[in-house]
């Protein structure tokens, strides 16, 4: 194996501008794979950091979605009286993956700007930063699945073998999240506004993904709006999660396949954008 | 296999550093305005006559042979630190190229990148991973790093519990543990308290002895003749003169004195015409 990424033997360093898109994407993927050890340490640090100062530690990943579900349940089932049966489960299977996405995406977006002093002092492949944020979030999501098991105890009649498809849907979401995280971590280095807008944009996105009310509720009344909202990758993901955990049916395989295809395309674009932007990080941060 | 293992490129006759027509440009539009509002405002106000970038280094060429040590001196803003960052691979050349042979190390890494929640020991491993040092080598180095940092039981406590001095000692200890072929120094010779400073200077000297080539960027002209056998005077991103350290230091002193004289004359002229304005207009 040759030491391609080494800064040490760094003979001639060809400028990024002189390299093609495919070469850049390959270099980016090579860095992610080649610097696994660095990624592993960063993931460990991230997991320790996120909940180290709280009394319950990682337990918060189990408690937090349950509390969030309770809030929405009180709001929607008690006051607004939506007639969805077994509403807590219906909510929970959307809130849990959403929390994974939103928390991970936010962390990843800030991962490059949050390490400016290091970037100005050490030469290393910066792409490991958003990647490790996404991996750490994924491990935390694993803890969150314990909470799903807990909620299921009350709705055992909704449990079917389709639940076994959950990891497949999560894998699609992982590719999507990684692509978004890598892309926005690079963009945020240039436009810090992103981090200010993000929490609001994420909240709107959450509502538009049909997390609280089924999107099909507006299929009849507003067909064009429904058509547009159905293009939202996260609406497809939430529908799929709900299909296997709540409706006890197969997910929309075609929709999932399209989201996976789109996510891989986005990932390639994100790695390209990141690698193009990378040399500028040390200058602008 | 860890792909970061350094292979010794053992061409002894090859220069350690070969810089050809190096240029590094900063884009002021990107550095100054990092919010969307700023960028939009900048686009609207685009003034064709105004420079929106500046060359920190331009048309720089020099070679450094193995076993040579080079001092880079010059006034503030001459591009010394930019040159060091470029040699370390942190800044990419805008023009020209940099060829280096061997492992390059800066001692800039004093505690940057410490993870607050991780223990000192874990941070040693993390730093090794950032620097691309194989785990086996880090395992070998760890005991000496811990010993040199001299922070006792704290090595197994989270770094957030450290004092500033302890953090600096651990950072220095890690940065100097890995012996580089090309050592880049940016005046890090004084870290921590008196006793540690003495020990750290001894350690830097040891690295200097072992390194195949050294580049030292400094304001402290006493070190120049002691550490280096060649010197470059850098001003406004360009090499003014290159040669024996003693001669270059003299030239630098001369130019500083000259500039001071000019500045004083300017100040006097300015004082004589008081009603022009409160100061130079902001760009």
Q: Do B30 and A117 touch (CB under 8 A)?
A: no
Q: Which two tokens stand for residue B162?
A: 């450290």
Q: How far apart are CA B199 and CA A121, in angstroms?
A: 23
Nearest CA to B137 out of B235, B234, B15, B6 is that of B6
Contact A99, B90 (CB under 8 A): no
Residues of B in contact with A38 (CB under 8 A): 126, 129-130
- The answer, for B117 touching chain A at a CB cutoff of 8 Å, is yes
Rounded to a whole number of angstroms, the distance from the CA of A120 to the nearest CA of chain B is 7
Give the count of beta carbons closer than 10 Å to the beta carbon of residue A139. Answer: 14
Q: What are B50's strand-pairing partners?
A: none
User: Which H, E and C letters describe B149-195, residue by residue?
Assistant: HCCHHHHHCEHHHCCHHHHHHHHHHHHHHCCCCEEEEECCCCCCCHH
Check A122 against B37: CB less than 8 A apart.
Answer: no
> Are B101 and A3 in contact (CB < 8 Å)?
no
Mapping DSSP onto H, E and C, the string for chain B reads CCCCCCCCCCCCCCCCEEEEEEEEEEEHHHHHCCCHHHHHHHHHCCCCCCCCEEEEEEEEEEEECCCCEEEEECCCCCCHHHHHHHHCCCCCCCEEEEEECCCEEECCCCCCCCCCCCEHHHHHHHHHHHHCCCHHHHHHHHHHHHHHHCCHHHHHCEHHHCCHHHHHHHHHHHHHHCCCCEEEEECCCCCCCHHHHHHHHHHHHHHHHHCCEEEEECCCHHHHHHHCCEEEEEECCEEEEEECHHHHHHHHHHHHHHHHHHHHHHHHHHHHCCCCCCCCCCC
**Which chain B residues are Cβ-neighbours of A9 within 8 angstroms?**
6-7, 9, 100-103
Residue A141 neighbours by CB distance under 10 Å: 22
What percent of chain A is modeled with pLDDT above 70?
A: 91
Q: Does A81 touch chain B (CB under 8 A)?
A: no
pLDDT tens column, A89-106: 998 999 999 999 999 999
Which helix (H) or strand (E) segment holds residue A147: the answer is helix A128-152
Question: Chain B residues with CB inside 8 Å of A15's CB?
Answer: 92-94
8-state DSSP, A52: T
**% residues pLDDT > 90 (chain B):** 18
- Residues B7-46: pLDDT tens digits? 444 445 688 899 999 999 887 766 554 556 666 665 565 5
**Measured between CB atoms, which of B88, B102, B129 is closest to A123?**
B88
> Which of A285, A279, A5 lies closest to A118, judged by CA?
A285
Q: Assess whether pLDDT exceeds 50 at residue A4.
A: no
pTM to 2 decimals? Answer: 0.84
Beta bridge partners of B104: B182
Angle of helix A60-73 versus helix A87-111 axis, rounded to 10? 130
pLDDT averaged over every residue in chain B: 80
In whole numbers, what is the pLDDT of chain A averaged over residues?
86
Tell me whether residues A124 and B3 touch, CB distance under 8 A: no
Residue A25: the pLDDT is 93
CB of B78 closer than 8 Å to CB of B31 = no
As a whole number of angstroms, the distance between CA B52 and CA B54 comes to 7
Position B283 confidence tier, pLDDT thresholds 50, 70, 90: very low
Q: Touching check for B109 and chain A: CB below 8 Å?
A: yes
| Helical segments of A112-127, H only | 116-119
- Chain B environment of A121 (Cβ under 8 Å): 90, 106, 108-109, 112-113
Contact A216, A235 (CB under 8 A): no
Element (DSSP H or E) covering residue A156: none
* Residue B273: predicted pLDDT: 63
Residue located via tokens 């309770």: A70
Query: Pick from B26, B101, B112: which is nearest to A118 by CB?
Result: B112
B10/A contact by beta carbon, under 8 A: no
* Contact map slice: A 111-130 vs B, CB within 8 A: 115, 117-124
Q: Which domains does chain B have, with CATH numbers?
A: 106-211 (3.40.50.300)
* B213-217 vs B53-64, strand pairing mode: unpaired
Q: Which residues of A touch B135 (CB under 8 A)?
A: 37
- Scanning B129-188 for CB atoms below 8 A from A yields 129-132, 135, 158, 181
Task: Tell me the nearest-neighbour CA distance from B263 into chain A, angstroms.
Answer: 31
Mean pLDDT of A272-276: 95
Residue % of chain A over a pLDDT of 90: 51
pLDDT digits (tens, 9 = 90+) for B160-183: 899 888 888 888 888 888 888 888
CB contacts of A284 in chain B (<8 Å) are 27, 30-31, 34
B98 reaches A (C-beta below 8 A): yes
List CB contacts of B227: < 8 A, sequence separation 6 or more: B69, B71, B208, B214, B216
Q: Give the strand pairing for B17-27 and B53-64.
A: antiparallel
C-alpha B17/C-alpha B214 separation (Å) is 10
pLDDT in tens, B237-277: 899 999 998 899 999 999 989 988 988 888 888 777 655 44
Question: With contact defined as beta carbons under 8 Å apart, do B217 and B84 qualify?
Answer: yes
């Amino acid at each position: 194996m040759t030491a391609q990424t080494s800064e040490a033997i760094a003979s001639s360093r060809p400028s990024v501008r002189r390299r093609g898109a495919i070469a850049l994407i390959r270099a980016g993927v090579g860095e992610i794979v080649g610097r696994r050890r660095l990624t592993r340490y960063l993931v460990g640090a991230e997991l320790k950091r996120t909940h180290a100062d709280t009394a319950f530690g990682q337990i918060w990943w189990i408690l937090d979605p349950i509390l969030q579900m309770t809030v929405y349940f009180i709001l929607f089932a008690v006051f607004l009286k939506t007639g969805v049966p077994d509403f807590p489960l219906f909510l929970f299977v959307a809130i849990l993956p959403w929390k994974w996405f939103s928390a991970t995406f936010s962390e990843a977006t800030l991962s490059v700007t949050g390490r400016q002093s290091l970037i100005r002092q050490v030469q290393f492949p910066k792409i490991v930063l958003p990647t490790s944020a996404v991996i750490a979030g994924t491990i935390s999501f694993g803890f969150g699945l314990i909470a799903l098991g807990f909620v299921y105890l009350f709705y055992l009649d909704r449990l079917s073998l389709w639940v076994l498809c959950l990891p497949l849907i999560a894998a699609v979401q992982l590719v999507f999240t990684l692509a978004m995280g890598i892309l926005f971590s690079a963009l945020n280095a240039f436009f810090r506004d992103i981090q200010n807008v993000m929490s609001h944009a994420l909240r709107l996105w959450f509502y538009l993904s049909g997390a609280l009310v089924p999107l099909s509720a507006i299929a009849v009344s507003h067909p064009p709006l429904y058509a547009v909202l159905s293009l939202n990758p996260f609406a497809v993901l939430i529908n799929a999660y709900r299909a296997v955990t709540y409706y006890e049916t197969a997910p929309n395989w075609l929709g999932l396949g399209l989201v996976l295809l789109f996510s891989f395309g986005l990932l390639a674009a994100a790695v390209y954008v990141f690698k193009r932007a990378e040399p500028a990080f040390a200058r602008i941060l | 296999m860890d792909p970061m293992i350094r292979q010794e490129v053992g061409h002894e006759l090859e220069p350690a550093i070969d810089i050809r027509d190096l240029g590094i440009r900063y884009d002021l539009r990107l550095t100054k305005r990092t919010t969307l509002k700023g960028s939009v405002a900048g686009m609207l106000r685009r003034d064709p006559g105004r420079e929106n970038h500046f060359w920190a280094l331009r048309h720089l060429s020099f070679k450094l042979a193995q076993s040579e040590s080079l001092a880079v001196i010059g006034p503030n803003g001459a591009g010394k630190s930019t040159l060091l960052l470029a040699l370390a691979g942190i800044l990419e050349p805008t023009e020209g190229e940099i060829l280096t042979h061997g492992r390059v190390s800066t001692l800039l890494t004093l505690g940057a990148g410490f993870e607050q929640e991780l223990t000192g020991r874990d941070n040693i491993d993390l730093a090794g991973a950032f620097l691309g040092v194989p785990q086996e080598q880090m395992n070998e180095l760890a005991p000496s790093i811990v010993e040199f940092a001299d922070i006792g039981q704290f090595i197994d406590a989270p770094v957030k519990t450290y004092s500033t001095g302890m953090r600096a000692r651990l950072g220095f200890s890690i940065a100097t543990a890995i012996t580089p072929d090309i050592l880049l120094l940016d005046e890090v010779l004084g870290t921590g308290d008196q006793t540690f400073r003495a020990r750290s200077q001894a350690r830097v000297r040891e690295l200097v002895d072992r390194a195949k080539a050294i580049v030292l960027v400094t304001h402290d002209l006493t070190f120049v003749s002691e550490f280096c056998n060649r010197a470059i005077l850098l001003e406004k991103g360009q090499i003014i003169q290159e040669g024996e350290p003693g001669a270059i230091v003299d030239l630098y002193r001369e130019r500083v004195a000259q500039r001071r004289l000019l500045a004083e004359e300017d100040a006097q002229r300015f004082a004589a015409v008081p009603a022009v304005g409160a100061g130079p207009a902001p760009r």
